[in-house]
């Protein structure tokens, strides 16, 4: 867990404190901030470190099989269950289980999960006997769980149980002090692994990297670093290489970030320069806002609306799901009304509800 910013220094301290205990930890933060790194570190520093650390990405497992994946199933419990199978909890026994994207866990599974947290007990799918495990649970979410509670897709009791210890990792743009260290580390790692000799980077480029917003956080910084080196082998990296790689539009290019451009000039000059840049940028932003405002399409009140931008990369399934959810909310989940509106059979609609995890008779 690299970093020198205050949040990261504090984080390392918290990790040291919670690691030796069995307390359940909830790690929150945007995608790519290092949630899995933290979970791994907690396991590594715990007495469980010699036992398995198992990561389960709750968002990547189809709803229909998630319980069997987590808790296992007994032979013959459903079509295709030809053998009794261990679930992740059993496999992690004695160790740590890391449930990533916990907000994606179906409500039904959340109940069972709560029980495992409380007393380590669960039942295999199709099983009749209670099983017991000794696992430390770490959960993570990049979604706002409080919002999910409001929309009834996350259980409040589970949330409070999970967040007894909540570790929040701030986005990279809020701890810029860490950027250069991480960059250097990724450069070193990548160059060593690939037998590359790094030829350096200009000050302006580094300032640019530090001041960039990194929406994909540390993961994006790592991927960026690796591509940047790969595409610029045998030369010192200049600012153009960086902006090209980040593919930023021109306006963001000119944010007043290049302090080192002014190096060697006196303070007043520097200040004027920065102010001038700032003014230019504000005018730029104003202009862009005006353009956006002009191009905005009216959103019909209470209507089903898909923006052009969204249409450009929407899949048929997503579209169908959005349409269903729209009518689902409009008719409070009333099957008859929705089926009539969409001119499909109740049976087909039931199937689709199931497919998209919607329940009969309640708005989202
Ligand atoms: N503080 C850090 N020090 C070193 N590497 C980090 C740090 N934070 C994140 N990373 C790296 O960034 C990438 C994304 O981290 P990850 O833990 O998967 O993020 P998240 O789970 O929050 O999406 C990984 O390659 C990880 O090794
Ligand atoms: Mg992750």
Residue ranges lining ligand 1, Cβ < 6 Å:
1-3, 29, 31-37, 218-219, 222
Instruction: Report the atom number in ligand 1 closest to the C-alpha of 31.
Output: 23
Domain positions in the chain are 6-170, 174-248, 262-295, 308-355
Higher-confidence position of 186 and 275: 186
Q: Look at residue 281 in the predicted model and tell me its pLDDT.
A: 78
Residue percentage of the chain with pLDDT more than 90: 61
In angstroms, what is the C-alpha Rg of the chain? 25
Ligand located closest to 9 CA: 1
Instruction: From 15, 37, 171, 178, give the residue whose CB has the most ligand 1 atoms within 8 Å, as the site to mutate.
Output: 37
Of all protein residues, whose CA lies closest to atom 13 belonging to ligand 1? 219
CA of 244 to the centre of ligand 2 (A): 27
Cβ neighbours of residue 92 closer than 8 Å, sequence gap 6 or more: 51, 52, 53, 54, 133, 135
Q: What is the mean pLDDT of residues 179-206?
A: 96
CA of 182 to the centre of ligand 1 (A): 10
DSSP 84-142: -B--HHHHTTTSEEEEETGGGS-HHHHHHHHHHHHHSEEE-BT--SEEE---EEEEEES
CATH of 174-248, one of 1.10.3720.10, 1.10.8.60, 1.20.1740.10, 1.10.10.10: 1.10.8.60
Round the average pLDDT of the chain to a whole number and report it. 87
Tens of pLDDT, residues 295-310: 765 555 556 666 677 7
CA of 227 to the centre of ligand 1 (A): 17
Instruction: From 142, 219, 223, give the residue whose CB has the most ligand 1 atoms within 8 Å, as the site to mutate.
Output: 219
The structural architecture, per CATH, of the domain 308-355 is Orthogonal Bundle (1.10)
Is the per-residue pLDDT at 290 higher than 90? no
CA of 210 to the centre of ligand 2 (A): 23
Confidence of residue 266 (pLDDT cuts 50, 70, 90): low
Is the per-residue pLDDT at 135 higher than 90? yes
Is the per-residue pLDDT at 79 higher than 50? yes
Q: How many residues does the chain have?
A: 364
Are 106 and 357 in contact by the 8 Å Cβ rule? The answer is yes
Q: What is the mean pLDDT of residues 27-50?
A: 97
pTM to 2 decimal places: 0.69
Strand partners, 100: 57
Q: What superfamily in CATH does domain 6-170 come from?
A: P-loop containing nucleotide triphosphate hydrolases (3.40.50.300)
Q: What is the mean pLDDT of residues 193-217?
A: 95
Is the per-residue pLDDT at 268 higher than 60? yes
CA of 220 to the centre of ligand 1 (A): 10
Higher-confidence position of 277 and 9: 9
Break the chain down into helix, strand, coil percent, rounded to 5: 55, 10, 35
Instruction: Report the atom number in ligand 1 closest to the C-alpha of 8.
Output: 1
Q: Which of 125-134, 209-218, 344-353 has the lowest mean pLDDT?
A: 344-353
Ligand located closest to 15 CA: 1
């Amino acid at each position: 867990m690299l970093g020198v910013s205050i949040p990261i220094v504090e984080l390392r301290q918290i990790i040291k404190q919670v690691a030796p205990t069995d307390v359940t930890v909830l790690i929150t933060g945007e995608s790519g901030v290092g949630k899995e790194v933290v979970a791994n570190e907690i396991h590594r520093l715990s007495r469980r470190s010699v036992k398995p650390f198992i990561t389960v990405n709750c968002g990547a497992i189809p709803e229909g099989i998630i319980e069997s994946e987590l808790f296992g199933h007994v032979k013959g419990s459903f079509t295709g269950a030809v053998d009794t199978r261990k679930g992740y909890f059993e496999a992690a026994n004695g160790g740590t289980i890391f449930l990533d994207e916990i907000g994606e866990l179906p409500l039904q599974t959340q109940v069972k999960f709560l029980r495992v947290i409380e007393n380590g007990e669960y039942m295999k799918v199709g099983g009749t006997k209670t099983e017991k495990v000794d696992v430390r649970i770490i959960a993570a979410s990049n979604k706002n769980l409080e919002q999910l509670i409001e929309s009834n897709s996350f259980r409040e009791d589970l949330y409070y149980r999970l967040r007894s210890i909540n570790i929040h990792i701030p986005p990279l743009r809020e701890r810029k002090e860490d950027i250069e260290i991480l960059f250097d580390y990724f450069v070193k790692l990548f160059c060593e692994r690939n037998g590359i000799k790094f030829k350096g980077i200009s000050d302006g480029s580094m300032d640019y990297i530090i001041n960039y917003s990194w929406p994909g956080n540390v993961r994006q910084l790592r991927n960026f670093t690796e591509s940047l080196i790969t595409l610029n082998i045998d030369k010192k990296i200049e600012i153009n290489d960086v902006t090209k790689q980040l593919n930023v539009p021109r306006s963001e290019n000119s944010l007043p970030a290049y302090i080192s451009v002014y190096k060697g000039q006196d303070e007043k000059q520097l200040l004027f320069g920065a102010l001038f840049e700032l003014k230019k940028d504000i005018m730029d932003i104003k202009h862009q806002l005006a353009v956006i405002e002009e191009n905005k399409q009216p959103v019909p009140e209470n209507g089903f609306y898909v923006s052009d931008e969204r249409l450009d990369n929407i899949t048929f399934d997503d579209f169908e799901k959005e349409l269903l959810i729209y009518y689902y909310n409009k008719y409070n989940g009333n099957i008859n009304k929705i089926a009539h509106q969409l001119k499909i059979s109740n049976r087909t609609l039931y199937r689709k509800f199931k497919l998209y995890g919607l329940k009969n008779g309640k708005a989202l």
